Amino acid sequence: MDSITSTIVTFVGLGAMGFGMASHLLKMGYHVIGYDVYEPTRLRFLEAGGNMSQSPREAARGAQVLICMVANSQQADSVLFDSGMGAVEVLPLNATIIICSTVPSAYLMEIQSKLESMGRNDIFLVDSPVSGGTVRAAEGTLTILSSATPAALSQSKRILYDLSEKHFVIPGGIGAASNIKMINQLLAGVHIAAASEAMGLAVRMGLNTRRVYEIIVNAAGTSWMFENRVSHMLDNDWTPQSALDIFVKDMGIVTSSARSQGFPLPLSSAAEQLYLSASLCGYGKEDDSGLVRVFTPGAESAVHDGGKKKAPTDDRLTPIVTPNEIKKVGFIGLGAMGIGMATTLVNGGFHVTGYDISPKPVSNFLLSGGKSEAAESPAEAALDADVLIVMVQTASQVEEVLFGSGNAAEKLPSGAVVILTSTVPPSFVQKIGTRLEALEKQLYLVDAPVSGGAAKAAEGLLTIICSATDTAMSKVNPVLLAMSGKPDNIYYAEGGIGAASSIKLINQLLAGVHIMAAAEAMAFGAKLGLDTRSLYEIIKNAAGGSWMFENRVPAMLSADWTPHSMLAIFVKDLGMVLDESKRLGFPAFLTAAAHQMNLMGASHGWAREADGGIVRLWELMTGVSVSKSAKPQDTGFNPREYPTLPLKETIDSLPSEYNGDVLHSIREYISDDKTPLLVILDDDPTGTQTCHDIAVLTVWDVETLQREFDCSEKGFFILTNSRAFPPVEAKKLLEIICQNVQHAAQLAGKEFEIVLRGDSTLRGHFPDEPETVERTLGRDRIDGWILAPFFYQGGRYTINDVHYVAEGDFLIPSGQTQFARDATFGYKSSNLKDYVLEKAGFKFSMGDIFSISLEDIRCGPGIVTEKLLKAPRRSVIIVNAAAESDMYVFAAGILAAEQQGRKYLYRTGAAFVSSRLGIIGIPPLSAESLDMSSNPSGGLIIAGSYVPKTTLQLHSLLRRRASKLDVIELPVSKLIHSSENATEIVNTAIEDASQKLQSGQDVLVMTSRDLVVGDDAISSLSIGGTVAATLVKVMLGIDVRPRYVVAKGGITSSDIATKGLKMKRAMVVGQAAPGVPLWRCDEETSRHRGVPYVVFPGNVGGEDTLAELVESWALPEGR
What CA–CA distance (Å, rounded) separates 777 from 313? 30
| Residue 1059 included in any domain | yes
pLDDT at site 364:
85
**Contacting residues for 300 by C-beta, under 8 A, at least 6 apart:** 236, 293
* Cα→Cα distances 850→820, 888, 925, Å: 23, 19, 39
What CA–CA distance (Å, rounded) separates 552 from 116? 44
Q: Are residues 251 and 384 in the same domain?
A: no
Q: Are residues 467 and 411 in the same domain?
A: yes
Number of structural domains, the chain? 5
CATH number, domain of 21, equals 3.40.50.720
Q: What is the pLDDT of residues 699-747, one digit of tens each?
A: 999 999 999 999 998 999 999 989 878 887 888 899 999 999 999 999 9
* Cα→Cα distances 177→114, 183, 485, 1000, Å: 20, 10, 44, 67
Residue 274 pLDDT greater than 60, yes or no? yes
Which pairs count as long-range contacts for 795-798, CB under 8 Å and 24+ apart, including other chains? Answer: 796/760, 796/761, 796/909, 797/651, 797/881, 797/882, 798/832, 798/878, 798/879, 798/880, 798/881, 798/882
What CA–CA distance (Å, rounded) separates 1072 from 336? 44
Judge whether 21 and 142 are in contact, CB under 8 Å: yes
Closest CA to 451 of 409, 506, 520: 506
Identify the DSSP state of 866: H
504 has catalytic annotation: yes
Q: What is the pLDDT of residues 557-568, one digit of tens each?
A: 999 998 878 899
Strand order, beta sheet including 810-813: 645-646, 810-813, 802-807, 796-799
Q: Are residues 199 and 160 in the same domain?
A: no
pLDDT at site 4:
58
Average of pLDDT values for 917-943?
89
**Contacting residues for 551 by C-beta, under 8 A, at least 6 apart:** 220
| Residue 627 included in any domain | no
Q: Are residues 257 and 362 in the same domain?
A: no
Helix 209-216 to helix 176-205 angle, to the nearest 10 degrees?
140
| Residue 633 included in any domain | no
Residue after which a domain boundary falls, among 622, 656, 687:
622
> Using CA atoms in the order 80, 86, 92, 96, what is the torsion angle rounded to 10 degrees?
-20
Average of pLDDT values for 515-534?
96
Q: Are residues 123 and 191 in the same domain?
A: no
Judge whether 1110 and 1003 are in contact, CB under 8 Å: no
DSSP-assigned beta bridge partners for residue 906:
755, 786
Closest CA to 1054 of 1035, 1074, 1082, 1073: 1035
Confidence of residue 1013 (pLDDT cuts 50, 70, 90): very low
Average model confidence (pLDDT) for the chain? 91
pLDDT at site 166:
83
Q: Which of 504, 833, 843, 949 is catalytic?
A: 504
pLDDT at site 64:
96
What CA–CA distance (Å, rounded) separates 184 from 253? 12
Q: What is the pLDDT of residues 1029-1072, one digit of tens each?
A: 788 889 999 999 999 999 988 778 888 998 899 999 999 999 99
pLDDT at site 1023:
54
Kindly state the helix (H) or strand (E) to which residue 561 belongs, with its residue range. Answer: none
Highest mean pLDDT out of 3-17, 366-380, 503-517: 503-517
pLDDT at site 976:
63
Report which of residues 407 and 1017 the model is more confident about: 407
pLDDT at site 633:
59
Q: What percent of the chain has pLDDT over 90?
A: 72
Q: What is the pLDDT of residues 878-887, one digit of tens each?
A: 999 999 999 9
Average of pLDDT values for 52-65?
95
Sign of the CA dihedral 397, 400, 406, 409?
Answer: positive
For residue 105, give its domain range.
4-174
| Residue 934 included in any domain | no
What CA–CA distance (Å, rounded) separates 878 from 831? 10
Q: Are residues 88 and 169 in the same domain?
A: yes
Q: Are residues 970 and 1091 in the same domain?
A: yes
DSSP-assigned beta bridge partners for residue 1067:
695, 1080
**Contacting residues for 371 by C-beta, under 8 A, at least 6 apart:** 346, 349, 350, 351, 352
Judge whether 904 and 753 are in contact, CB under 8 Å: yes
Q: Are residues 679 and 693 in the same domain?
A: yes
Q: Are residues 299 and 376 in the same domain?
A: no
Q: What is the pLDDT of residues 432-460, one digit of tens each?
A: 999 999 999 999 999 999 987 777 888 88
Average of pLDDT values for 246-263?
96
Report which of residues 349 and 432 the model is more confident about: 432
* Cα→Cα distances 957→455, 964, 1063, 1095, 1106, Å: 33, 10, 27, 17, 7
What CA–CA distance (Å, rounded) separates 719 from 53? 55
Q: What is the pLDDT of residues 125-178, one digit of tens each?
A: 999 999 888 888 998 889 899 999 999 999 998 899 889 888 888 988 999 999
What CA–CA distance (Å, rounded) separates 325 from 283? 57
Q: What is the pLDDT of residues 888-917, one digit of tens each?
A: 999 999 999 999 999 999 999 999 999 999
Residue 540 pLDDT greater than 80, yes or no? yes
pLDDT at site 812:
97
| Residue 639 included in any domain | no
pLDDT at site 1017:
45
Residue after which a domain boundary falls, among 433, 468, 492:
492
Residue 427 pLDDT greater than 80, yes or no? yes
Confidence of residue 803 (pLDDT cuts 50, 70, 90): very high
Confidence of residue 322 (pLDDT cuts 50, 70, 90): low
The rounded Cα 1114 to chain-centroid distance in angstroms is 41
CATH number, domain of 831, equals 3.40.50.10840
Q: Are residues 736 and 832 in the same domain?
A: yes
Confidence of residue 956 (pLDDT cuts 50, 70, 90): very high
**Contacting residues for 625 by C-beta, under 8 A, at least 6 apart:** 526, 619
Residue 822 pLDDT greater than 70, yes or no? yes
Average of pLDDT values for 986-1010?
89
Closest CA to 253 of 202, 180, 314, 305: 180
| Residue 522 included in any domain | yes
Judge whether 731 and 775 are in contact, CB under 8 Å: no
Q: Is 1113 exposed, middle or buried (0-12, 13-18, 19+ CB in 10 A)?
A: buried
| Residue 926 included in any domain | no
pLDDT at site 1016:
47
CATH number, domain of 296, equals 1.10.1040.10
pLDDT at site 595:
98
Q: Are residues 956 and 1055 in the same domain?
A: yes
Closest CA to 1075 of 1102, 1108, 1051, 1044: 1102
Q: What is the pLDDT of residues 192-234, one digit of tens each?
A: 999 999 999 999 999 999 999 999 998 889 999 999 999 999 9
Q: What is the pLDDT of residues 584-631, one digit of tens each?
A: 999 999 999 999 999 999 999 999 999 999 999 999 999 999 999 998
Judge whether 155 and 125 are in contact, CB under 8 Å: no
pLDDT at site 453:
76
pLDDT at site 946:
66
Q: What percent of the chain has pLDDT over 70?
A: 95
Residue 872 pLDDT greater than 50, yes or no? yes
| Residue 38 included in any domain | yes
pLDDT at site 707:
95
Average of pLDDT values for 756-766?
93
Helix 884-899 to helix 662-671 angle, to the nearest 10 degrees?
40
Q: Are residues 319 and 443 in the same domain?
A: yes
pLDDT at site 1019:
45
